[in-house]
Structures are given as C-alpha cells and as structure tokens.
C-alpha cells in the first residue's frame, strides 16, 4: 500500500489540475448503461452474486489508471496509491438503513469473492454507518440504488471540493432491445481526470463484462 507523491513541476497535468482545483473547482458526473446480458446469465448459472462481481469489475478498471487513484493523503500531499480497495454500501431491509463495508481488493476474482462473502457474514448485519472498522486510506466508494433505473445521478460532496477519487453508484438493471442494461454513474474530479478518462473507464468496464469468461474461470 504505497502512496506515490506527485512532483508538481514534473507532472504534465499540472496546469489542468491547478485550473480545476484553484480557479474553477469542478467535479462532474457521467452515467452510462453497461450491457450485462451475458455476464448476468453466467453469474446466475454459477450461483455468483451480481453486486460483488460489479464491485470487482469497477475496482479492476480503476486500478489500471493512476488518474482514478490520485488524491491527497492525510497530510495534504498529492499523489496516487499503487492500488485501491472498494468501500461499498449494504442495505438493511428491516429498518431501511445502510452500512458501509470494505473488502481488500485482489485481481483474482475468486479470492476477492471469498473475502466479500466472509465480510458479509461477519459485518452484514452490523447496524452502524461503518460496519467494518479499520478501513485503510486507499479505498474509494461504491454504492447501489437497485430500486430504480436512473438515467442520471449526481452527488453533491461538500468538502471544499478536494475529494479527488471517483465515486460510483449503480442503478436497477432493466431490459431493452433484448439486452439487460445496468446504469452506472461515476462522479469524477476534473482536476485529475477528464471526459476522455471517464469514457475509457466505461469502455473498459463494458469490455470486462463482455469477456467475463476470462476472470470467472476459477469459480
């Protein structure tokens, strides 16, 4: 878990970072539908839960690009983590509240899925905001709103606009033109990533959904 400090004068993104952090502090949201038709069918056949599969997909793509791992550390220094793990919400149906749990990321889905199931068994019924303690600093948030198929979703984060990591929110999947589509919204900070980077993330997520056999083979 290394945090790599960015030397601003050697960083090609310096003028964009300074503009979108100091002059026009700017975050933006992008929502796109991910085609999960074949992925969902395969998960059902194998008895694998959709939510952790999507969490792993998102985290895998995020970890491939330093733009999505760039943030300030606890001392206010700019840099990027070698790797991020997901911090995700779970819903308590009895009282309609939610909790946040984190699971250590690993590229092998089978290992991650086992840790997810263990975390859910241990902390899934804990009724507090942070159900699993000792969350490491190198996590990013993922949540789900599985009751509605939204076409757009925007978060308003009031922390002086210095939270640089992406935030992802899934919606309810739906059928359209014989496809199963899942809306996924990403909140991004313009200081560290542009529309190009966000677009590539969604394209890579779709590719990962299409090539599910490559990473579900060990389950």
Q: What pLDDT, in 10s, does the model give residues 144-183?
A: 999 999 999 998 887 788 999 999 999 999 999 999 999 9
Q: What is the pLDDT, as a whole number, of residue 218?
A: 58
Q: What is the pLDDT, as a whole number, of residue 155?
A: 87
pLDDT tens digits along 36-61: 999 999 999 999 999 999 999 999 99
29, 155 contact by CB (below 8 A): yes
How far apart CA 93 and CA 76 sit, in angstroms, is: 38
H helices, E strands: number in the chain? 5, 10
Q: How far from each other are the two terminal CA atoms of the chain, in whole angstroms? A: 27
Q: What is the pLDDT, as a whole number, of residue 42?
A: 96
pLDDT tens digits along 78-116: 999 999 999 999 999 999 999 999 999 999 999 999 999
Q: What is the pLDDT, as a whole number, of residue 159?
A: 76
Residue 64 CB coordination number (10 Å):
13
Token code pair at residue 7: 């030397």
Which DSSP string do the residues of 65-133 spell out, in sequence order? -GGGGEEE-TTS-EEEES--EEEEEEEETTTTEEEEEE----SSHHHHHHHHHHHHHHHTT--SSB-SS
State yes or no: pLDDT of 129 exceeds 90: yes
Answer whether 0.85 is exceeded by the pTM: yes
81, 69 contact by CB (below 8 A): yes
Active-site entry in 5, 80, 190, 217: 190
Active site residue 190: yes
Residue with tokens 């389950």: 219
- Kindly tell me the sign of the dihedral angle through the C-alpha atoms of 12, 197, 87, 155: positive
pLDDT tens digits along 180-214: 999 999 999 999 999 999 999 999 999 999 999 99
Confidence label for 1 from pLDDT (cuts 50, 70 and 90): confident
How far apart CA 128 and CA 174 sit, in angstroms, is: 31
Q: What is the mean pLDDT of the chain?
A: 96
């Amino acid at each position: 878990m290394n945090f790599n400090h960015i030397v601003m004068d050697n960083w090609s993104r310096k003028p964009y970072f300074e503009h979108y952090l100091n002059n026009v502090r700017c975050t933006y949201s992008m929502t796109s539908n991910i085609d999960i038709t074949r992925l969902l069918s395969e998960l059902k056949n194998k008895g694998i839960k959709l939510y952790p599969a999507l969490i792993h997909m998102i985290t895998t793509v995020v970890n491939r690009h330093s733009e999505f791992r760039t943030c300030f550390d606890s001392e206010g220094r700019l840099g990027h983590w070698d790797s991020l793990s997901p911090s995700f919400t779970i819903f308590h149906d009895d009282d309609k509240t939610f909790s946040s749990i984190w699971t250590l990321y690993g590229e092998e889905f089978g290992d991650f899925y086992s840790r997810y199931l263990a975390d859910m068994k241990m902390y899934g019924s804990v009724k507090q905001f942070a159900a699993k303690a000792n969350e490491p600093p190198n996590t990013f948030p993922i949540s789900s709103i599985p009751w509605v198929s939204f076409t757009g979703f925007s978060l308003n984060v009031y922390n002086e606009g210095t939270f640089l990591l992406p935030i992802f929110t899934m919606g309810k999947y739906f059928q359209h033109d014989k496809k199963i589509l899942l809306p996924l919204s990403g909140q991004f900070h313009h200081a560290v990533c542009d529309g190009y980077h966000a677009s590539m993330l969604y394209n890579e997520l779709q590719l990962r959904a299409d090539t599910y056999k490559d990473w579900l083979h060990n389950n």
